[in-house]
């Protein structure tokens, strides 16, 4: 505790005294904390420093005053916004009081501080520093800024006195201190900023400053001064330095200037033009061109490039070099080395195959850019027992480790070692040779061959003796020849063997001699080797004889041979000689000729060609010289054979010799022996590249043999891939060196312990060792000769004797892993390139595996390295492998059949489901197929089965005659086929079937819609707007209504006026109206006016009946009544099925009956007439109109005037009267006789009729014709988009047929023709009636579904039922046969809709025939039901050929007159013609 600390305490206590409020407590705490924080830096700045600082301060003008001055300021600032604690005090105690108290305290403090300053020798007060201390600041900011701010505001407002004082003090201080606001002191703004801002951006500054202040321990001003001073000084210093350096530089420059002025001559800069430089560079530099070198430059002249690859030779892949680099290199080579040795036959640079392996041998390093922390993160992994990879694993099921490999290492012999002395080298050589000799001796091939030779000779001898042979001469000769050739072979072999034997013996002796001489020379022996040559005495004479006999035999044989040869040669010579002679003769003759020729044409002599060289005169072969041959034979015998009488030498090598002891040896030898002794050898056993064990370290013996005699039992998991012994040599304590590696073969599975032979495996090392003693070293040249010639280089080598075998278990089972465990499928890609590592050694014997491997590794079959392998594989695979030549589909089907087929077919439910999915009519809409078989009634199938059974049985019961029954059957069949066809078509959807999409508006539509904008909103005569169509989906009974609007009728038959004659036949017959003539209906006043009697002619009403519903209108009056009434009839679809297909087949008709309502007064008693009315209403049927529902359905609306079917005879009614009356107002109507009714029928809501099936049927028509029709149709559709234009139709068998095929003149029945032979018109009418009598049956009804099948007239007459078109076709054909000009009219009529009529041309006019009714209409008939015409179809009358047909599409304008635009399609071509004579004036036909 230093005095400062005490002082701090005093001050805080004082503060406590001043602020008695509890709120101050917190301040105290904070201040305490702040002070405690402050304590730490203070001691660092020791009191001495302070003193010195203060002393420095003393230099300033008013140190003391300033000291005292700063403190109150700091006090105020503390009280101000920057100190938090006063807030509560400020708010609670009055400010006046507060200010008073403060003033008091200030004074007190001032006094105290004075005292203190004197006492403590200007030790700075902690208080001001407290404000600036960083701890304080931090604290304050921590407390939050807002309260402070508020406090500031309140104080600024309220505490004006203190404020002003502060201001005053501030101003004073401003004057006194150099900077207006000391940086340490925050201004109001700064303070504000301090509280509101985050001081993040410059934390160092704010921290450093207070620190500095703390260290200084002085007030702000002092610090300021200090802070400002050093930089100034620094500047001064640097300024001075600059000055000095400037002067120095000047001096230097001056000196330099002097010298420069003396020596430097001013010249213009050297300039070399770029051109010149380039020229120079060109001379020096060579820039090879990048252009491709033409091949001929790279090859010798007149040599075509030869591509080895094309010849089937293997060329490895060349390393990939960019083309430009290659070009540059080639250019360079061409210019630098004119010789083309760098270029191959194919004109490319000679290159070795690409050495780069396709697969990296190093596993790829995962270079994922991860967070390094993630990489460093330690992961805990549970210790897992090492699981062997499956390809190495042996038998996962078997207990692992049951396999054992026994390796017996018995010893090691060095055949060369660096420590070998020269003698050792020789000894090794000798031992080797002796081994060789022993081996040869054991086989004794020479003896065997000699015996064989003898045997052969005997055979020849016997063969030559004819008495002993019973064979034919030919065969003997042949065998003898064979024998002879064999003898020759054997003799040669024997000679070689004998020579080898002899040579070996000689070398052994030579080496032994060398060794002996060496031993003598060096005067010590190193090796115990000793060669003893044992001589075996032989019988001189016998030996000599045998020798001589042998030689003689050989000579004779040779002679024979030579004779044969000579004979052959002679023959060849003779032939050649003859040839030569002939040539010579010819030559001579030629020469003679030539001479003559030369005489004649001397100038030609020069050009005489000598095409063939003169054949050399053959030399006759020399006869063999026996003496010479004998000499040769003897020489050879001497060389290779033991001389007769010479003892037989048998070398015997023994180790009986003694080795010179060390003491008697020279120093170098002793050193060598010591070196050998220091060395020891051990072996490591490496299994699958892992060391498994090692032998003991054994010292190297003086004979360079190491005996180990150790057996290692390797218990293995893995299949042995490699077994290696490493030979290590230890020299003293210096360490071990790896001498060599010995690779042991993995034993075959048949080799087990006990049976394995000890094998010697050779090894050698390539180490170079030079030794400073007698040792010859390794890999170093040395010589036995004194002069150092005949140098030898020997490498360390040796043999390891070992045996490897599979162990045998306790129960005698060899512990061998099964071979099948090897699976090549698991091999890594790396190993793919190596067959052995890939499939294992034993895999090499399995050709299939090998082939598989070869295929997998994509061996280059052209690579010569692979050639034998490929051949082997090709041989192996061609014969053995079996590839099935079939492919099994759904091979797992059997497994998934959960029920047998019979059971499945027996299941009723399955059958039902099948039939439904096939859409068999009976089951098509079958709902809720029962869940169980037992719930399915047998009768479900009855109908279906019956139908199937009855398919071919024709029942006559239901029909009038068998013909009709047959027709019905036939129709049924056609219907079925059609249904099937349409069922298929129904499942083909177009985009428009699924997606409603607006069409792209074209100009006309756009224009129309624009025009519509200008239309009247409420036109006077509103047009009928199309209603929304409803697709038949959610309809039920009662939803659909048929609306029949009955408007008016014309020419209703009227009651016969003659009825008045019978006015009184009976009272009951009097009509009601007659009685009440005085009150005629006002409905038709004109009529009533006409009738003088005021008699009502007729009171008609209309009754509409449809599906058993009957509605009727009110009663109108007169023959031309007007009802204008709408009748509503409910529609019920059959079986409640409102689907399109069901609606199509509704056969119901709408009957519109017209009745005359007649009232009869049945009042018997006239007296009651005044009080009551008693009448009877009678309805007299006048006629009817029948409209099929299908028409309404397809037409959507029927609007028009219909002819009422009136029976020919209507009793009591007539039309005559009306005829007379009506003629006046409409002459046109006069043509038609009959009554008409105007109707409008529609359905509510409007149903969408099903679309006709779009399906292209196949056709037998000419393709060209079909194309033409399509084109024609397309053109017509373009011109008249709404017109029905037919070119092809579907016939009853479902084929597309050209429409005119139906039209051909047919003779009508003879009876019809004979009926009115003189009146063609009557005949025509009769024919029409005849046709109309054939029953009408719409296609939709007969063939379900919207289709238009055209049956021919023949078929039509057979079926006895048909549609409009059939009728029309038949009628047209009849008319044609009558000699009329007739056409088929395709148009739309009322009520049928699109239909077919027949048009005939009479003398002056045209008639339109309705084929179904037999009616005909004049071309001007208003009531003609045909309302528009799509096209006319008929045979071209101008053409003679019947089938050439014109199709006419008349164009109707709004005008009445027809404009003769025609378009004809004749056969295969369509073209436009104007047909002037074809002028049809049918003005009543409206434009479509």
Beta bridge partners of 1298: 1288
Q: Is 534 helix (H, G, I), strand (E, B) or coil?
A: strand
Q: What is the CA radius of gyration of the chain?
A: 68
Burial class (CB in 10 A: 0-12, 13-18, 19+), 63: buried
* 1254 touches other proteins by CB under 8 A: no
In this complex, which beta carbon is closest to other proteins, that of residue 883 or of residue 990? 990
Q: Which of 988, 1147, 1174, 1469 binds other proteins (CB under 8 A)?
A: 988
Residues in the interface with other proteins (CB under 8 A) total 27
Strands in 258-317 per DSSP E: none
Note whether 1256 binds other proteins by CB under 8 A.
Answer: no
When the beta carbons of 302 and 1034 are compared against other proteins, the nearer one is: 1034
Hey, what are 271's tokens?
Answer: 């300039």
Counting contacts by CB under 8 A, is residue 932 touching other proteins? yes
- For the chain, report the end-to-end CA distance as a whole number of angstroms: 123
CA atoms of 1163 and 1175, how far apart (whole Å): 7
CA distance 520 to 514: 10
- What span, in angstroms and rounded, lies between the C-alpha atoms of 1402 and 1404? 6
Q: Which of 623, 1001, 1085, 1136 binds other proteins (CB under 8 A)?
A: 1001
Quick one: which H or E segment has residue 423?
helix 422-443
Instruction: Name which position in 367, 893, 928, 1403 contacts other proteins (CB under 8 A).
Output: 928
**C-beta of 1033 vs 1260, nearer to other proteins:** 1033
HSE-up (13 A, CA, CB side) for residue 1151: 14
Q: Which of 369, 997, 1258, 1477 binds other proteins (CB under 8 A)?
A: 997
Where helices occur in 601-642 by DSSP H, the ranges are 626-640
769, 672 in Cβ contact below 8 A? Answer: no
Residue of 332, 516, 916, 1483 interacting with other proteins (CB under 8 A): 916
Among 20, 565, 935, 1090, binds other proteins (CB under 8 A): 935
996 scored as a contact of other proteins (CB under 8 A):
yes
CA 807 to CA 1305: how far, in whole Å?
Answer: 109
**According to CB under 8 A, which one of 995, 1013, 1078, 1209 is a site residue for other proteins?**
995
Q: Is 590 in the site for other proteins (CB under 8 A)?
A: no
Shortest distance, CB of residue 219 to other proteins, whole angstroms? 57
Stretch of 8-16, 64-72, 167-175, 997-1005 lying at the interface with other proteins (CB under 8 A)? 997-1005
In angstroms, give the least distance from the CB of 986 to other proteins.
9
We find the least distance from the C-beta atom of residue 1141 to other proteins, in angstroms, to be 16
Nearest-approach distance from CB 988 to other proteins, in angstroms = 7
Torsion of the alpha carbons at 1356, 1360, 1363 and 1367, rounded to the nearest 10: 60
Cα→Cα distances 90→99, 141, 1005, Å: 10, 20, 88
Indicate which single residue of 990, 1010, 1020, 1211 sits in contact with other proteins (rule: CB under 8 A): 990
Within 1352-1411, which residues bind other proteins (CB under 8 A)? none
Asked if 756 is part of the footprint of other proteins (rule: CB under 8 A), the reply reads no
Please report, as residue ranges, which positions from 1011 to 1040 form the binding site for other proteins (by CB under 8 A): 1031, 1033
Q: Which is nearer to other proteins, 998 or 1258 (CB)?
A: 998
Q: Residue 578 or 918: which CB sits closer to other proteins?
A: 918
Give the integer Cα–Cα distance in Å for 602 and 597: 7
Placement of tokens 């594989």 in the chain: 873
Q: Strand order in 1349-1350's β-sheet?
A: 1296-1298, 1288-1291, 1349-1350
CB of 162 to other proteins, least distance (A): 53
**Nearest approach, Cβ of residue 1348 and other proteins (Å):** 24
**What's the rounded Cα separation, in Å, for the pair 1435 and 499?**
119
CB count in 10 Å sphere of residue 551:
17
- Count of other CB atoms within 10 angstroms of residue 1239: 24
Structure tokens at 195: 């509280």
Least Å distance, CB 1246 to other proteins, is 17
DSSP string of 63-127, one letter each residue: HHHHHHHHHHHHHHHHHTTT-STHHHHHHHS-HHHHHHHHHHHHHHHHHHHHHHHHHHTSPPPHH
The residue within the footprint of other proteins, chosen from 473, 627, 892, 991 (CB under 8 A), is 991
| 350: Cβ contacts below 8 Å, ≥ 6 apart | 342, 343, 344
State which residue, 365 or 931, has the beta carbon closest to other proteins. 931
Ordered DSSP codes for 1265-1308: HHHHHHHHHHHHHHH-TTS---SEEEETTS-EEEGGGG----PP
Residues 6+ apart with CB under 8 A from 982: 1253, 1255, 1344, 1345, 1347
Question: Taking contact as CB under 8 A, which single stretch among the options 69-77, 360-368, 989-997, 1180-1188 is the one that binds other proteins?
Answer: 989-997
Residues 501-520 that bind other proteins (CB under 8 A): none
Instruction: Say whether residue 913 binds other proteins (CB under 8 A).
Output: yes
- Contacts of residue 286, defined as CB under 8 A and 6 or more positions apart, other chains included, come to 332, 335
Q: Does 379 bind other proteins (CB under 8 A)?
A: no
Name which of 381 and 1256 has its Cβ closer to other proteins.
1256
Token couple for 1278: 């373009």
Indicate the residue among 924 and 1443 with the shorter CB distance to other proteins: 924
Nearer to other proteins, 658 or 928 (CB): 928
Q: Which is nearer to other proteins, 1033 or 1079 (CB)?
A: 1033
Report the distance separating Cα 1134 and Cα 1146, nearest Å: 7
What's the rounded Cα separation, in Å, for the pair 551 and 549? 5
Is residue 989 part of the contact set for other proteins (CB under 8 A)? Answer: yes
**CB 1200 → other proteins: shortest distance, Å?**
32
Q: How far is the CB of 1013 from other proteins (least distance, A)?
A: 15
Stretch that binds other proteins, among 205-213, 275-283, 998-1006, 1109-1117 (CB under 8 A): 998-1006
Stretch that binds other proteins, among 397-405, 516-524, 984-992, 1325-1333 (CB under 8 A): 984-992
Least distance between other proteins and beta carbon 991 (Å): 5
Stretch that binds other proteins, among 983-991, 1206-1214, 1215-1223, 1466-1474 (CB under 8 A): 983-991
Piece in contact with other proteins (CB under 8 A), picked from 231-239, 428-436, 981-989, 1174-1182: 981-989
Q: Residue 820, interface with other proteins (CB under 8 A)?
A: no
Q: What's the rounded Cα separation, in Å, for the pair 573 and 861?
A: 50
Contacts of 725 (CB under 8 A, 6+ apart): 409, 683, 684, 685, 686, 741, 742, 744, 761, 800, 802
Pairwise CA distance, residues 148 & 155, whole Å: 10
**C-alpha to C-alpha distance for 194 and 1079, rounded to whole angstroms:** 116
Interface with other proteins (CB under 8 A), residue from 265, 266, 931, 1278: 931
Shortest gap between Cβ of 1138 and other proteins (angstroms)? 15
Q: Which is nearer to other proteins, 369 or 999 (CB)?
A: 999
Q: Name which position in 889, 1000, 1014, 1220 contacts other proteins (CB under 8 A).
A: 1000
Shortest Å, Cβ 1145 to other proteins: 21
Q: Least Å distance between CB 1290 and other proteins?
A: 23
| In the complex, least distance from residue 1255 CB atom to other proteins, rounded to whole angstroms | 15
SS3 710: strand
Determine, following the binding rule CB under 8 A, whether residue 663 of this chain makes contact with other proteins: no
Peptide bond into 1391 cis (omega under 30): yes
Q: Which range of residues in 808-816, 962-970, 995-1003, 1472-1480 is near other proteins by CB under 8 A?
A: 995-1003
Q: Which residues bind other proteins (CB under 8 A)?
A: 913, 916, 925-932, 935, 987-991, 993-1001, 1031, 1033
């Amino acid at each position: 505790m230093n005095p400062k600390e005490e002082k701090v305490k005093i001050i805080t206590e004082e503060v406590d005294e001043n602020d008695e409020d509890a709120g101050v407590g917190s301040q105290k705490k904070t201040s305490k904390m702040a002070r405690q924080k402050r304590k730490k830096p203070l001691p660092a700045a020791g009191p001495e420093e302070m003193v010195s600082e203060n002393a420095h301060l003393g230099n300033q003008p008013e140190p003391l005053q300033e000291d005292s001055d700063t403190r109150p300021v700091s006090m105020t600032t503390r009280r101000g916004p920057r100190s938090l604690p006063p807030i509560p005090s400020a708010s609670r105690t009055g400010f006046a009081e507060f200010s008073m108290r403060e003033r008091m305290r200030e004074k007190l403090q001032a006094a105290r501080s004075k005292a203190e300053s004197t006492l403590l020798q200007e030790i700075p007060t902690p208080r001001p520093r407290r404000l600036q201390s960083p701890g304080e600041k931090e604290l304050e900011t921590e407390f939050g800024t807002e309260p402070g701010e508020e406090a500031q505001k309140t104080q600024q407002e309220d505490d004006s006195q203190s404020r002003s004082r502060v201001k005053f003090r501030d101003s004073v201080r401003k004057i006194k201190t150099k900077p207006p606001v000391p940086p340490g002191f925050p201004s109001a703004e700064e303070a504000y900023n301090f509280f509101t801002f985050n001081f993040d951006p410059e934390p160092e500054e704010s921290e450093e400053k207070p620190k500095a202040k703390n260290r200084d321990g002085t007030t702000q001003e002092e610090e300021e001064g200090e802070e400002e001073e050093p930089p100034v000084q620094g500047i001064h210093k640097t300024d001075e330095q600059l000055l000095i350096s400037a002067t120095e530089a000047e001096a230097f420059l001056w000196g330099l200037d002097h010298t420069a002025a003396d020596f430097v001559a001013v010249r213009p800069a050297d300039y070399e033009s770029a051109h010149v430089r380039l020229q120079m560079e060109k001379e020096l530099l060579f820039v090879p061109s990048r252009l491709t070198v033409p091949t001929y430059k790279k090859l010798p002249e007149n040599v075509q490039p030869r591509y080895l690859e094309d010849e089937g030779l293997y060329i490895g892949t060349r390393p990939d070099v960019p083309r430009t680099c290659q070009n540059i290199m080639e250019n360079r080579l061409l210019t630098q080395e004119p010789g083309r040795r760098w270029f191959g036959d194919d004109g490319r640079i000679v290159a070795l195959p690409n050495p780069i392996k396709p697969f990296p041998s190093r596993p790829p390093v995962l270079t994922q850019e991860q967070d390094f922390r993630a990489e460093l993160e330690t992961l805990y992994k549970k210790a897992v027992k090492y699981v062997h990879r499956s390809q190495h694993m042996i038998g996962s099921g078997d207990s692992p480790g049951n396999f054992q490999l026994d390796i017996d290492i018995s010893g090691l012999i060095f055949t060369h070692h660096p420590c070998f002395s020269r003698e050792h080298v020789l000894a090794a050589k000798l031992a080797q040779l002796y081994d060789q000799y022993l081996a040869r001796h054991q086989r004794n091939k020479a003896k065997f061959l000699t015996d064989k030779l003898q045997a052969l000779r005997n055979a020849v001898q016997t063969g030559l003796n004819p008495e002993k042979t019973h064979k034919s001469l030919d065969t003997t000769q042949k065998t003898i020849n064979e024998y002879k050739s064999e003898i020759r072979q054997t003799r040669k072999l024997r000679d070689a063997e004998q020579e080898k034997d002899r040579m070996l013996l000689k070398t052994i002796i030579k080496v032994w001699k060398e060794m002996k001489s060496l031993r003598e020379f060096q005067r010590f022996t190193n090796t115990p080797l000793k060669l003893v040559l044992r001589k075996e005495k032989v019988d001189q004479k016998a030996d000599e004889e045998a020798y001589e006999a042998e030689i003689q035999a050989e000579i004779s044989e040779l002679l024979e041979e030579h004779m044969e040869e000579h004979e052959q040669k002679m023959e060849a010579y003779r032939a050649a000689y003859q040839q030569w002679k002939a040539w010579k003769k010819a030559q001579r003759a030629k020469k003679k000729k030539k001479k003559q020729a030369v005489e004649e044409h001397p100038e030609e002599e020069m050009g005489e060609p000598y095409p063939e060289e003169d054949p050399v005169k053959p030399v006759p072969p020399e006869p063999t010289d026996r003496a010479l041959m004998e000499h040769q034979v003897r020489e050879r015998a001497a060389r290779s054979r033991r001389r007769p009488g010479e003892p037989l030498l048998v070398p015997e090598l023994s180790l009986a010799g003694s080795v010179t002891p060390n003491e008697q040896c020279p120093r170098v030898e002793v050193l060598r022996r010591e070196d050998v002794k220091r060395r020891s050898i051990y072996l490591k056993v490496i299994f699958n590249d892992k060391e498994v064990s090692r032998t003991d370290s054994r010292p190297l013996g003086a004979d360079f043999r190491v005996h180990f005699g150790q057996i290692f039992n390797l218990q293995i998991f893995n299949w042995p891939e490699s077994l290696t012994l490493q030979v290590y040599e230890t020299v003293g304590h210096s360490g071990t060196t790896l001498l060599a590696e010995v690779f042991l073969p993995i034993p075959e599975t048949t080799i087990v312990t006990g049976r394995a032979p000890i094998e010697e495996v050779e090894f050698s090392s390539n180490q170079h060792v030079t030794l400073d003693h007698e040792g010859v070293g390794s890999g170093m040249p040395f010589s036995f000769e004194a002069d150092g010639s005949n140098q030898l280089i020997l490498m360390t080598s040796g043999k390891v004797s070992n045996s490897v075998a599979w162990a045998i278990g306790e129960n005698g089972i060899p512990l061998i892993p099964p071979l099948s465990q090897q699976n090549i499928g698991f091999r890594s890609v790396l190993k793919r390139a190596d067959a052995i590592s890939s499939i294992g050694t034993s895999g090499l014997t399995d050709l299939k595996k090998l082939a598989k491997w070869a295929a997998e590794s994509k061996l280059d079959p052209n690579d010569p390295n692979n050639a034998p392998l490929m051949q082997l594989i090709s041989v192996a695979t061609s014969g053995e492998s079996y590839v099935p030549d079939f492919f099994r589909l759904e091979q797992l089907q059997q497994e998934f059949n959960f029920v047998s087929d019979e059971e499945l077919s027996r299941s009723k439910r399955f059958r039902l489901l099948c039939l439904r999915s096939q859409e068999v009519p009976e089951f098509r809409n079958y709902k809720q197929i029962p869940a169980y078989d037992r719930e399915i009634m047998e009768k479900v199938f009855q109908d279906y089965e019956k139908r199937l059974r009855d398919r071919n049985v024709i029942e006559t019961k239901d029909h009038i005659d068998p013909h009709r029954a047959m027709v019905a059957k036939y129709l049924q069949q056609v219907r079925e086929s059609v249904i099937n066809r349409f069922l298929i078509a129904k499942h083909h959807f177009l985009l428009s079937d699924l997606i409603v999409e607006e069409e792209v508006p074209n100009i006309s539509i756009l224009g129309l819609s624009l025009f519509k904008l200008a239309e009247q909103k409420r036109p006077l005569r509103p047009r009928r707007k199309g209603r929304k169509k409803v697709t038949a989906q959610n309809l039920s009974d009662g939803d659909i209504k048929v609306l029949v609007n009955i408007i008016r009728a014309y020419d209703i038959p009227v009651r016969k006026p003659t009825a008045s004659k019978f006015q009184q036949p009976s009272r009951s017959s009097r009509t009601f109206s007659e009685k009440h003539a005085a009150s005629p209906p006002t409905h038709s006043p004109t009529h009533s006016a006409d009738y003088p009697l005021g008699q009502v002619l007729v009171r008609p009403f209309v009754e509409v009946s449809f599906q058993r519903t009957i509605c009727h209108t009110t009663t109108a009056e007169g023959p031309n009544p007007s009802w204008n009434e709408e009748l509503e009839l409910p529609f019920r679809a059959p079986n409640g099925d409102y689907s399109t297909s069901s609606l199509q087949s509704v056969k119901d008709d709408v009957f519109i009956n017209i009745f005359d309502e007649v009232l009869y007064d049945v009042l018997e008693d006239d007296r009651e007439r005044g009080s009551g009315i008693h009448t009877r209403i009678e309805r007299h049927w006048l006629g009817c109109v029948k409209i099929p529902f299908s028409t309404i359905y397809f037409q959507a609306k029927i609007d028009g005037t219909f002819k009422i079917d009136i029976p020919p005879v209507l009793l009591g009614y007539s039309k005559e009267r009306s005829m007379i009356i009506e003629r006046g107002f409409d002459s046109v109507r006069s043509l038609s006789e009959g009554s008409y009714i105007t109707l409008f029928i529609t359905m509510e809501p409007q149903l969408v009729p099903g679309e006709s099936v779009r399906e292209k049927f196949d056709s037998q028509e000419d393709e060209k014709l079909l194309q033409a029709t399509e084109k024609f149709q397309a053109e017509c559709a373009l011109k008249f988009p709404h017109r029905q234009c037919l070119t092809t139709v579907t016939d009853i068998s479902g084929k597309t047929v050209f429409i005119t095929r139906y039209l051909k003149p047919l003779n009508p029945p003879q009876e019809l023709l004979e009926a009115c032979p003189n009146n063609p018109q009557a005949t025509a009418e009769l024919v029409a009636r005849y046709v109309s009598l054939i029953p009408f049956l719409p296609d939709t009804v007969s063939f379900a579904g919207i289709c238009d099948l055209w049956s021919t007239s023949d078929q039509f007459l057979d079926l006895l039922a048909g549609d409009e078109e059939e009728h029309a076709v038949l009628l047209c054909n009849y008319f044609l046969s009558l000699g009329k000009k007739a056409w088929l009219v395709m148009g739309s009529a009322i009520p049928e809709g699109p239909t077919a009529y027949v048009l005939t041309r009479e003398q002056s006019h045209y008639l339109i025939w309705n084929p179904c009714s037999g009616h005909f209409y004049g071309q001007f008939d208003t009531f003609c039901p045909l309302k528009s015409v799509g096209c006319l179809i008929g045979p071209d009358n101008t053409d003679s050929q019947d089938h050439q047909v014109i199709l006419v599409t008349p164009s109707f304008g709004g005008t009445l007159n027809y404009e003769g635009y025609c378009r004809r399609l004749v056969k295969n071509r369509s073209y436009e013609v104007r047909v002037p004579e074809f002028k049809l004036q049918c003005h009543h036909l409206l434009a479509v």
